[in-house]
Amino acid sequence: MIYGEWILDLLLAFPVLAALAVLLSPEAAAKRVALVGTLVEFLLSVPLWWMFDPGTAAMQFQVTHPWIPGWGIMFSLGLDGISLFMVLLTTFTMPLAVLGSWNYIKEKQRAYYALLLVLTTGMLGVFVALDLFVFYVFWEIMLIPMYFLIGVWGGPRRLYAAIKFFLFTFVGSLLMLVAILVMYSVVGRATGEYSFAYSHLLDNVGSVERWAFWLFGAFFLAFAIKVPMFPFHTWLPDAHVEAPTAGSVILAGILLKMGTYGFLRFAVPFFPGVAFHPTVQTVVVVLAVTGIIYGALVAMVQPDFKKLVAYSSISHLGFVMLGIWALSLQSVEGAIIIMISHGISTGALFFLAGMLYERAHTREIAAFGGIARVVPALAATLTIVSLSSIGLPGTNGFIGEFLVLVGSFGTFPWATVVAATGVIFAAAYLLRALQRLIYNKLDNPEHERMRDLSARELLVLVPLIVCILWIGLYPAPFLRRVEASAQALVEQIRGPEATTTPARAAEVVR
């Protein structure tokens, strides 16, 4: 198990080293160095897929180094079924993000690619941190590169969007910091051991019972903004529209997952009593379902393609929230699958939006139309990716939504039924956009000369499409690795019988 002992350290350190290499390389070679760096990072992470033991919910590949031992801060990392796929999703997305920026980013390339690599470390750190202080540090680290990515390489309103993004997230994370410090000191006083370790705080969370509501509130706000849940979502459309392509992809693909990951890892296991208090539960579920419907409806009337995809994210993440709060084995597994597949499908949609923008220099849906004849491969790809986002069975979108809904039905039948109408609206907004983008008559003669996907663009999209179909047709390997952790979470809160007894609620006959 030599691999398991250094892999997480290496995964965090390597992108920083690669970022240094990018900074030292000549401007023209920066993207190549970055591509090699992200690819190596991905290859390093691939063995995790096999090395991971799906049989246990315990943390694996754990490493702990003393960092500031006097204050009980240990640099400790680990992976379980929930974070495994977040890590793989991150390392998988980054090479594609570099490839997707290849021609789009023309200025200050060194800084751009170095920031992408630093961002990788920040995101991975969030997913593998097992010490709340370390978690908080990485949570903030990843904020800064993203701020610059939007603010420097973004669209015309980039400053507004970048500051909005930063302030929204920062407000939440400061509250979270306060909550972490309160837990640290209260638990420390009660147990005599001052430590930020996740397991220590989780085991002794009973001593913060008095403040549980406020602590949960702080965590909730931090994560709900990140998800983003209705009504904390308005930073997302702006950030997405202004961010460069790779920024949008990373934002949608990975950063949004940090919110739901935070719920799964911290907010829910720490404070189940508050999270599943009937009132809180009702509020969260109502907000989640509102997000599903609201996001879909607002997406339907967006004139800007990127904004449409941004609002669709709000809708998809609503399903994740519903799944977490329904807290059945299927719904939690489904929520994790949606987190993965939303990263893939929405990432692909943003790549395609970027490719359309590079060709026509506009994101207005109305400016396109009829290009399916000129760029058949692009049109076909866009169709497949849209269908996966719609949740067509056989694609990844269906698996997650189906599991979430089927699992949630037992807990919240009415909310689930309302949420399920989201599938109708999803079809409505994406097909409407699809029709106005690639179908209808080609009315702009300039688009006659639009070029089809290049080899590089295919290289970006084909892996994503392979994943779309793989998860859609054979999700069992994913579910198997997720199951133990999801089960542990459900059983921790619901008791062991929640996952073992088959669901059966029919009337008793005679």
Partner 1 sequence: MPASVGWVWLVIVLPFLGFLVNGTLSFVRPDAKRVVSAVGVGVLALSFVVALVVTGGVVAHPPHGHPYVLTLWSWMPAGSLQIDAALQVDQLSTVMMLVVTGISTLIHIFSIGYMREDPGYPRYFAYLNLFVFFMLILVLGASFPVMFVGWEGVGLCSYLLIGFWYENKPFADAGKKAFIMNRIGDFGFLVAMFMIFHATGSLSFVTVFEEAPQLFAVGGTTITLITLALFMGCTGKSAQIPLFTWLPDAMAGPTPVSALIHAATMVTAGVYLVARANVLFAMAPVSSLVVAATGAATALFAATIAVKQWDIKKVLAYSTISQLGYMFMGVGVGAYAAGIFHLTTHAFFKALLFLGSGSVIHALHHAFHATHRHDDAQDMRNMGGLRRYMPWTAALMWIATLAIAGVPGFSGFFSKDEILAMTFARGQEAGVFYVLWIVGAVAALLTAFYMTRMMLYTFHGPTRTGEEEERHLHEAPWVMTGPLLFLGIGSVVAGVLNLPAVLPGSGWLHHFLEPVTEGSTAYLPEFHLASATEWALLGLATLIAAAGILGAWNFLKPALLQPASLATPESGLQRILLRKWYVDEIYDALVIRPIMWLSERTFWKVVDVGVIDGVLVNGSAKTARAVGWIGSRLQSGRVATYVFFFVLGSILVLRALLR
Site of interaction with partner 1 (CB under 8 A): 164, 168, 231, 233-235, 294, 297-298, 300-302, 329-330, 333-334, 370, 372-373, 376-377, 380, 387, 392-394, 398-399, 402-403, 405-407, 409-410, 413, 416-417, 420-421, 423-424, 427-428, 431-432, 435, 438-442, 473-476, 479-480, 483, 487, 499, 501-507, 509-510
Nearer residue to partner 1 within complex by CB, 2 or 455: 455
The CA distance from 320 to 311, in Å, is: 15
Half-sphere exposure of 245 (CA within 13 A, CB side): 28
Nearer residue to partner 1 within complex by CB, 255 or 405: 405
Nearer residue to partner 1 within complex by CB, 69 or 376: 376
H or E element at residue 61: strand 60-68
C-beta of 370: minimal distance to partner 1 in Å?
6
By C-alpha distance, which of 391, 382, 393 is closest to 425? 391
Q: Using omega within 30 degrees of 0 as the cis cutoff, is the peptide bond preceding 237 cis?
A: no
C-beta of 199: minimal distance to partner 1 in Å?
25
Nearer residue to partner 1 within complex by CB, 168 or 351: 168
C-beta of 15: minimal distance to partner 1 in Å?
33
* Start-to-end C-alpha separation, the chain: 59
Q: Using omega within 30 degrees of 0 as the cis cutoff, is the peptide bond preceding 231 cis?
A: yes
The CA distance from 309 to 484, in Å, is: 32
| Count of positions (residues) in the chain | 510
Nearer residue to partner 1 within complex by CB, 355 or 453: 453
Nearer residue to partner 1 within complex by CB, 47 or 394: 394
The CA distance from 318 to 160, in Å, is: 26
By C-alpha distance, which of 295, 288, 281 is closest to 252? 295
CA distances to 18, 29, 94 from 23, in Å: 9, 10, 18
> What residues contact residue 146 under an 8 Å CB cut-off, 6+ apart?
119, 165, 247, 250, 251, 255
C-beta of 19: minimal distance to partner 1 in Å?
33
C-beta of 336: minimal distance to partner 1 in Å?
11
C-beta of 436: minimal distance to partner 1 in Å?
9
Q: Which structure tokens are listed for 96?
A: 């594609």
- Given a contact cutoff of 8 angstroms between Cβ atoms, the answer to whether 331 and 397 are in contact is no
DSSP class of 411 = T
Nearer residue to partner 1 within complex by CB, 154 or 188: 154
Nearer residue to partner 1 within complex by CB, 312 or 499: 499
C-beta of 18: minimal distance to partner 1 in Å?
36
Nearer residue to partner 1 within complex by CB, 233 or 257: 233
C-beta of 358: minimal distance to partner 1 in Å?
21
C-beta of 33: minimal distance to partner 1 in Å?
34
By C-alpha distance, which of 53, 38, 44, 42 is closest to 3? 44
SS3 for 504?
coil
